[in-house]
Chains A and B, each alone.
Chain A
């Protein structure tokens, strides 16, 4: 294997990993502020890709389509929280899981009603002429994926560290009661964290769609992989989510390089099961899992 091959695999690993990281961030943001694992997270990713595809097909400029997809999905995230999760805040974790599963069925089905069951293509953001990089040929879209992930991660860091909203979100992740006492509108924070996770998922779906194509049913598997990344990095930890995503992407492409591509999709899932079972500290705690 030449160094160019290695670079190729690393690039593809980082590209997939960046997507996992964005989806994982969505899981982590919602979990940190609510203790809920949102089984509809994968559908946000699906929505991002499908809405961009639909926008472009309808003649809307690409940039506007992407922005629109992100905004709409973010609104869907807020709506899910406000309309179906908030009324049952006190229900047990299983009920919340099932409700988010119900949401995921609806989103998937609506998109199928609207845009049909076929795969959709999205044009690359800036041409398809591969860029030569140290002997490897890289699709420009891969650079877009990496760039946007970096920007999103940086933006999130700024938000988390230096804004009032970020402070409120961090406070909620420690204790809702304490946050309420110091005057934080926790209900608003929870809704916004759903909105933010919708935006991140949609961004991931939109930016990777030109590479992978997209369809109404791509959400579930991506949701699982994103969750695997989030758990790998420690659920509730945004930095961990990004690291977990990249590690998972590299692991996958390493497995493809060393073994074969046949079971590529199983790699992340096996990692998920191993982490869940072998590193239970911090991931099976009742107080974390059943916080809300």
Chain B
């Protein structure tokens, strides 16, 4: 019952987001809220992978980056129409996810975390060093705006609506997935792999698929990011983002979409809080931004300790890493 209510709230909030540009005209605010939408797409993917299937990835920023560079290159070097390039980017990111997931099947817990972290670092090196493709540390500028034929989406409000419409669709799709056969299989293998196998679930196949799906969603968001911002550079795809995403899923709770979405929105907004609150002195704004990692780190530690000690409500008690085997 509470779950349905939660989801209803998220749905209404999601639809309401689409109407935001009618009220908000500040370009900067719209841009920040567009980032929130992009991060929503990525965190939904990670919630499926980590929150539902229990497979940690500290490499999602890399898939986000792969999507961004792929889509930018497909349009700029190969002249693909925007829609195809975004789809292509999502597919390439999904394939990258698949390539990480297949060998990753042999790893669990700590080792999967370290391996995906290592993958993120490798990609960070590659984004810097593969200058002909990525532009290196100088970045890649002049990425064209999204367009359908000759119709270009270039105002902040149009980009906002595009990103949030995609985010809403992704959320609906994810919600449908977790409520039916594949979602049950994901949750089952998170609880106990032998139990899932004994129920006829091809655990390895489900893990690989959800990893690819999750990476594909990160790639999709990355592609949208590249075209909305017009400029991409390696610093957008580093470990910090991967860690922030994992933090959002942990804080948002196991087997939840709305939790991680809200957590990621808060974490994203924190970074821009200063500029979003009108009348906040510049110094205060900068101080808040400066202390974001402290806030996130301390919250993570506090929440996990509280959960481990059983001080949290029932659903939260089932949080990540505490699932029964």
Footprint of B on A, CB under 8 Å?
A: 37, 39, 84, 87-88, 90-99, 101-106, 108-110, 112-113, 220-221, 224, 227-228, 231, 262-263, 265-266, 269-270, 272-273, 276-277, 280, 283-284, 286, 289-290
C-alpha spacing A284/B110, complex, angstroms: 9
Stretch at the interface among B5-13, B22-30, B158-166, B301-309: B301-309
C-alpha spacing A283/B126, complex, angstroms: 27
Distance to closest chain B CB from A241 (angstroms): 15
Digit string of B283-325 for contact with A (CB within 8 Å is 1, else 0)?
0000000110110111011001101110000000001111100
Q: Chain B, interface size: which category?
A: 35 or more
Chain A CB within 10 Å, residue with most, of B243, B247, B290: B243
Chain B CB within 10 Å, residue with most, of A97, A265, A277, A290: A97
Inter-subunit contact B304/A106 (CB<8 Å): no
Can you list 13 A-B pairs, Cβ within 8 angstroms, ordered by A? A87-B305, A92-B109, A92-B323, A94-B113, A101-B300, A105-B243, A112-B290, A228-B118, A231-B114, A272-B114, A277-B115, A280-B106, A289-B108
A102/B109 contact (C-beta < 8 A), A87-B309, A263-B125, A272-B114 known: no
Cross-interface CB contact of B304 among A88, A273, A290, cutoff 8 Å: A88
A273/B103 contact (C-beta < 8 A), A94-B56, A94-B109, A94-B320 known: yes
C-alpha spacing A110/B295, complex, angstroms: 11
Determine the chain B residues whose CB is within 8 A of the CB of A92 once the complex forms: 109, 320-323
C-alpha spacing A270/B115, complex, angstroms: 10
Inter-subunit contact B110/A37 (CB<8 Å): yes
Cross-interface CB contact of B290 among A94, A113, A221, cutoff 8 Å: A113
Residue B266 at the A interface, CB < 8 A?
no
B242-269 residues at the A interface, CB under 8 angstroms: 243, 246-247, 250
Inter-subunit contact B114/A84 (CB<8 Å): no
Determine the chain A residues whose CB is within 8 A of the CB of B247 once the complex forms: 98, 101-102
Residue B43 at the A interface, CB < 8 A?
no
Inter-subunit contact B298/A276 (CB<8 Å): no
Nearest A residue (CB) for B319: A95
C-alpha spacing A283/B323, complex, angstroms: 22
A269/B121 contact (C-beta < 8 A), A95-B308, A98-B321, A289-B110 known: yes
Determine the chain A residues whose CB is within 8 A of the CB of B291 once the complex forms: 109, 113
Inter-subunit contact B293/A91 (CB<8 Å): no
Determine the chain A residues whose CB is within 8 A of the CB of B119 once the complex forms: 269, 273
Residue B117 at the A interface, CB < 8 A?
yes
Given contacts A102-B298, A277-B107, 14 further A-B contacts (CB under 8 A): A92-B320, A93-B321, A97-B56, A97-B109, A98-B304, A99-B301, A101-B300, A106-B301, A269-B119, A269-B122, A269-B125, A272-B114, A273-B115, A284-B106
Inter-subunit contact A266/B126 (CB<8 Å): yes
Chain A at the B interface: SS class: helix
Distance to closest chain A CB from B264 (angstroms): 15
Determine the chain A residues whose CB is within 8 A of the CB of B129 once the complex forms: 262-263
C-alpha spacing A94/B56, complex, angstroms: 8
Inter-subunit contact B243/A91 (CB<8 Å): no
Determine the chain A residues whose CB is within 8 A of the CB of B290 once the complex forms: 112-113
A269/B118 contact (C-beta < 8 A), A95-B304, A98-B320, A110-B294 known: yes
Cross-interface CB contact of A106 among B125, B243, B298, cutoff 8 Å: B298
C-alpha spacing A227/B110, complex, angstroms: 11
Distance to closest chain B CB from A213 (angstroms): 18
C-alpha spacing A87/B110, complex, angstroms: 19
Cross-interface CB contact of B301 among A93, A102, A277, A289, cutoff 8 Å: A102
Nearest B residue (CB) for A109: B293
Residue B41 at the A interface, CB < 8 A?
no
C-alpha spacing A102/B125, complex, angstroms: 24
By Cβ-Cβ distance, the 3 closest A-B pairs, closest first, are A94-B321, A105-B297, A95-B321
Determine the chain B residues whose CB is within 8 A of the CB of A105 once the complex forms: 243, 293-294, 296-297, 300
Cross-interface CB contact of A109 among B297, B305, B320, cutoff 8 Å: B297
Determine the chain B residues whose CB is within 8 A of the CB of A110 once the complex forms: 294
A270/B305 contact (C-beta < 8 A), A102-B297, A108-B293, A290-B109 known: no
A270/B297 contact (C-beta < 8 A), A91-B308, A94-B56, A224-B114 known: no
Residue B239 at the A interface, CB < 8 A?
yes
Inter-subunit contact B297/A276 (CB<8 Å): no
Determine the chain A residues whose CB is within 8 A of the CB of B121 once the complex forms: 220-221, 224, 265-266, 269
Determine the chain A residues whose CB is within 8 A of the CB of B54 once the complex forms: 94
Nearest A residue (CB) for B296: A105
Cross-interface CB contact of B293 among A87, A94, A98, A106, cutoff 8 Å: A106
Digit string of B67-111 for contact with A (CB within 8 Å is 1, else 0)?
000000000000000000000000000000000000110111111
C-alpha spacing A263/B209, complex, angstroms: 30
Determine the chain A residues whose CB is within 8 A of the CB of B301 once the complex forms: 84, 99, 102-103, 106
Determine the chain B residues whose CB is within 8 A of the CB of A98 once the complex forms: 246-247, 250, 300, 304, 320-321
Determine the chain A residues whose CB is within 8 A of the CB of B298 once the complex forms: 102, 106
Nearest B residue (CB) for A110: B294
Distance to closest chain B CB from A88 (angstroms): 4
Distance to closest chain A CB from B85 (angstroms): 27
Inter-subunit contact A277/B243 (CB<8 Å): no
Nearest A residue (CB) for B297: A105
Inter-subunit contact A227/B114 (CB<8 Å): yes
Determine the chain A residues whose CB is within 8 A of the CB of B307 once the complex forms: 91, 95
Cross-interface CB contact of B111 among A90, A106, A289, cutoff 8 Å: A289
